[in-house]
């Protein structure tokens, strides 16, 4: 069975402005972890680097280009992202459809 994991992508246009786009990753139901029931899994992608930032409570940053391509997953707290066109997205833990991928300008 196929399903889709939806996420928001924050990307730049050719003029350097940023915008959100709703995208999806295909998941195929398969026996991925022995002895556990089958569940949806995407194609596996190699990763060359991985890091874990902790943003302090109350942090407010100026609009800036992403320093690198990253996926953001919330383990605690909440955060709001704003594109240069003024659109905003608010993300919290447990929001399965709120994976945000920021793409380098």
Give per-residue pLDDT as tens, 15-44: 888 899 988 889 999 999 989 999 999 999
| C-beta separation of 96 from 105 below 8 A | no
The answer to whether residues 83 and 90 touch, using CB atoms and an 8 Å cutoff, is: no
pLDDT of residue 9: 86
pLDDT digit string (tens) for 43-74?
998 888 888 888 888 888 887 777 777 788 77
Distance CA 103, CA 16 (A): 12
The whole model's pTM is what? 0.73
Residues 12, 88: Cα–Cα separation, whole Å:
15
Q: Give the residue extent of every domain in the chain.
A: 1-30+61-96
Mean pLDDT calculated for residue range 83-99: 78
Q: Does 105 have pLDDT greater than 50?
A: no
């Amino acid at each position: 069975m196929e399903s889709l994991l939806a996420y928001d992508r924050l990307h730049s246009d050719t003029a350097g402005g940023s915008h959100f786009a709703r995208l999806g990753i295909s998941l195929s139901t398969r026996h991925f972890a022995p002895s556990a029931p089958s569940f949806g899994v995407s194609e596996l992608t190699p990763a060359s680097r991985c890091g874990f930032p902790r943003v302090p409570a109350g942090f407010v940053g100026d609009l800036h280009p992403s320093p690198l391509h990253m996926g953001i997953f919330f383990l605690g707290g909440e955060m709001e992202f704003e594109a240069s066109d003024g659109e905003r997205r608010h993300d919290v833990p447990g929001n399965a459809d709120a994976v945000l991928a920021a793409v380098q300008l």
